[in-house]
Structure 1
């Protein structure tokens, strides 16, 4: 675990270079071993073929046995001209060594050949002096005898040792070259990552969200750069909207606060100077203060609603709710606000998946908007059919060039700026409807007035429990 932790602490380019060097070292080592092993087998096969091709005279075994001396058989000069050096093996494991030949240890396989159990056998052996040899034993001469001939393995060992040194040198050069190339490739390949790191550090230090990274190609680094650019663009847009919201909120708050401050100063000055205001003026001032406090509280509530992240704007979990029941409750809440107005509702059952409190607030905002623009004694028509909720007023209507702006925050029609409100009601409605998966639109109604239409996905019957 400790080496792994130390490895993880290394810079990424160092880790890539090290992994490349290790991978090449393993590949080179496997290749070098395979090359050495195949060469060794090839050389041994050639040595075995050379032993098999050695000609043994027909009388070699008989002559060796006749002239074999127990005292010093290696000095016996009576052999056939051109005979190979070797020894005769008997079935009991005894041997008779030829002249100028090194005695080779007799193995059980050699005795089996002499006993007639095998035709021949090839194996590694050793002389009494310890030299390693390759031994061929084949049947020859009278029954119960075999001839063993051998060649020293040093004939191929020197070649293999030279090859091993050469392969080791090549492997070393390859590993060093691979490490160097890996480091160079890591530096070249991580240049886009370095640019991305520099951009992130610049944004963290300066909060400059206008930074963009050039996107080159279509690989993973390019996708990462593109994602970073999209993220900074989204953050910049979010910050701009936040700053605009703060500026608009400050502008909207200034009016009721100024009026509220003026009215309170009049009341305080009246108390301090002892000059009592007429009862009617005092009541009007207090009513104005109360209305401004209510307007200020509503504005703050709307700002809180809009300041929440989209994922948490509802303030609660989604559930299956009856839209017709929510609309009916919203109508009952709106009736007292529209004194002298008639609100006619025709609601068919419709069930949607939404956050109940937010959805009811959105419907109430639609009704408040209709109440605000309806003439005295007018009628507001509320309908719910096949998942489409409509709210129609008979007011002056909205000019066609103003319809694209009605859902913008703090936007108010020039003709409605004298009326109470902050211009946030329809923004909250649009946001709630979009989060529920629906759509909202405002259009001019036939015969005058405006129709607000909300479509929400759902069903006419409640889902099974």
Structure 2
């Protein structure tokens, strides 16, 4: 059984479907054929038994038959019409059979009928020459004793050959066998055709997958017709390839943008280091002030490179739930900590804060980084001695600066990776901060927006997170 199952699994799917269909049809046809054969046999035997019960043997025939059997000089009675065989049976088991007929074996039931113990009997017996017959034995009362027989009764057996039933049954069996074979073969052919037709979309899908695996061409799309499972599978494949193509494009764009952003600080570093190396090689000392400025530039470029690499590592994490465990954290405490860092980075700025308690479920480190990035943007774009207003009310943290603002046509791009406003390209930064903010807030179930200030210059950055003004029990 295990070997058969293994060989079956080794076949192509369409061959397995065809075999399964043929097997199911064969089982159904076999069940119907067997049932038909048994029902037909019962009907034929019932008709044969009815015909035997309806046979009436005349008294004259009985006497003639008895006389022919007991007196050799007596002429044999005329043959019985049809295919009947008549035999007389006494209680002792002796028999007298019609002329030209082979004697029928006598059973205990026959002698019991002859002795008057049973009313009649109907059974299958065998003649002396080996033929099977169906026998009906019933008592026969005589008005006058027959010569050589004690007064009383005896039994008459009427028989018909079983070939009248077996021959039609044999023909029926052969006919059912032929019809069943044709049906099974036809079912197998139909199953193979259905399998080929039904699996044609699967073949197209397989070809598309093999093409993608061979060529890495993610532009392949499968035509979708209908609403069945194959159509759903084709749509899912098209969505998968579209997502993969989009992911690959984003990856390529990230690499290109990262290379572009890395080129500027690296070029500056190379230039400064070459100046320092040339000074050492030629022995021409760089003036102290220029050397300090040169070293400060190298340090600034190194800091910018480290920040850019950190942002790239942050964005390289998959767009799935944050890897750190989610915790119930106080957003107002995180905002207060970020405010302290912002005051250090912009000591000449006035930073006002109005924070009401609000507890959220998020990764503390990632959320703090997001709030710090928003405040850093406000500090970076605020004019000297400007004001930054920070508020936290009902789960919405808003940060307003008094900078130049963001044009309306640039607002849709502010959360894209490496996107920087033309007016901000001369300022330090990688263009990744707001992308990190948007992703972190989205992972915490919130949303981030930027909008122009309604009553003057500046921009309002908003972070809205679901939570509550009090911590949940047990947190």
TM-score by length of 2: 0.88
Q: Kindly tell me: are residues 282 and 43 of structure 1, through their superposed partners in 2, closer, same or farther at Cα, counting changes over 3 Å?
A: same
| Correspondence 1:209-220 to 2 at 5 A | 209-220=218-229
Shift of 1:255: 0.7
Asked if 2 retains the 8 angstrom alpha-carbon contact of 1:341 and 1:376, the reply is yes
Whole-angstrom distance in 2 between the partners of 1:434 and 1:448: 28
**What is the aligned partner in structure 1 of residue 41 from structure 2?**
40
Whole-angstrom distance in 1 between the partners of 2:166 and 2:190: 35
The question of 1:295 aligning with 2:316 is answered: no
| Correspondence 1:197-276 to 2 at 5 A | 197-276=206-285
Secondary structure of 2:320 counterpart: helix
The question of 1:178 aligning with 2:184 is answered: no
Aligned residues: 460
Q: Which residue, out of 280, 283, 288, partners 1:279?
A: 288
Whole-angstrom distance in 2 between the partners of 1:42 and 1:28: 21
Secondary structure of 2:135 counterpart: strand
Shift of 1:45: 1.6
Secondary structure of 2:141 counterpart: coil
**What is the aligned partner in structure 2 of residue 413 from structure 1?**
421
Asked if 2 retains the 8 angstrom alpha-carbon contact of 1:438 and 1:454, the reply is yes
Asked if 2 retains the 8 angstrom alpha-carbon contact of 1:433 and 1:456, the reply is yes
**What is the aligned partner in structure 2 of residue 355 from structure 1?**
363
Shift of 1:108: 4.2
Q: Kindly tell me: are residues 292 and 99 of structure 1, through their superposed partners in 2, closer, same or farther at Cα, counting changes over 3 Å?
A: same
**What is the aligned partner in structure 1 of residue 471 from structure 2?**
462
Q: Kindly tell me: are residues 321 and 193 of structure 1, through their superposed partners in 2, closer, same or farther at Cα, counting changes over 3 Å?
A: same
Comparing 371-380 with 208-217, greater Cα deviation is found at 371-380
Whole-angstrom distance in 2 between the partners of 1:96 and 1:76: 17
Q: Kindly tell me: are residues 112 and 447 of structure 1, through their superposed partners in 2, closer, same or farther at Cα, counting changes over 3 Å?
A: farther
The question of 1:164 aligning with 2:173 is answered: yes
Q: Kindly tell me: are residues 59 and 322 of structure 1, through their superposed partners in 2, closer, same or farther at Cα, counting changes over 3 Å?
A: farther
Structure 1 gaps, min length 5:
none
Q: Kindly tell me: are residues 331 and 97 of structure 1, through their superposed partners in 2, closer, same or farther at Cα, counting changes over 3 Å?
A: farther
Whole-angstrom distance in 1 between the partners of 2:59 and 2:372: 122
Shift of 1:10: 0.9
Q: Kindly tell me: are residues 345 and 58 of structure 1, through their superposed partners in 2, closer, same or farther at Cα, counting changes over 3 Å?
A: farther
Q: Kindly tell me: are residues 74 and 343 of structure 1, through their superposed partners in 2, closer, same or farther at Cα, counting changes over 3 Å?
A: farther
Whole-angstrom distance in 1 between the partners of 2:419 and 2:171: 89
Listed one character per residue, the Cα deviations across residues 380-437 of structure 1 (whole Å, up to 9, x for unaligned) are: 2222222212122222222222212111111111111111111111111111112222
The question of 1:428 aligning with 2:436 is answered: yes
Q: Kindly tell me: are residues 41 and 337 of structure 1, through their superposed partners in 2, closer, same or farther at Cα, counting changes over 3 Å?
A: same
**What is the aligned partner in structure 1 of residue 9 from structure 2?**
8
**What is the aligned partner in structure 2 of residue 319 from structure 1?**
327
Asked if 2 retains the 8 angstrom alpha-carbon contact of 1:64 and 1:96, the reply is no
Q: Kindly tell me: are residues 117 and 272 of structure 1, through their superposed partners in 2, closer, same or farther at Cα, counting changes over 3 Å?
A: farther
Q: Kindly tell me: are residues 361 and 106 of structure 1, through their superposed partners in 2, closer, same or farther at Cα, counting changes over 3 Å?
A: farther
Q: Kindly tell me: are residues 292 and 66 of structure 1, through their superposed partners in 2, closer, same or farther at Cα, counting changes over 3 Å?
A: same
TM-score by length of 1: 0.90
Structure 2 gaps, min length 5:
143-151
Asked if 2 retains the 8 angstrom alpha-carbon contact of 1:61 and 1:146, the reply is no
The Cα RMSD (Å) is 2.7
The question of 1:437 aligning with 2:445 is answered: yes
Shift of 1:118: 4.5
Shift of 1:197: 1.4
Q: Kindly tell me: are residues 284 and 110 of structure 1, through their superposed partners in 2, closer, same or farther at Cα, counting changes over 3 Å?
A: farther
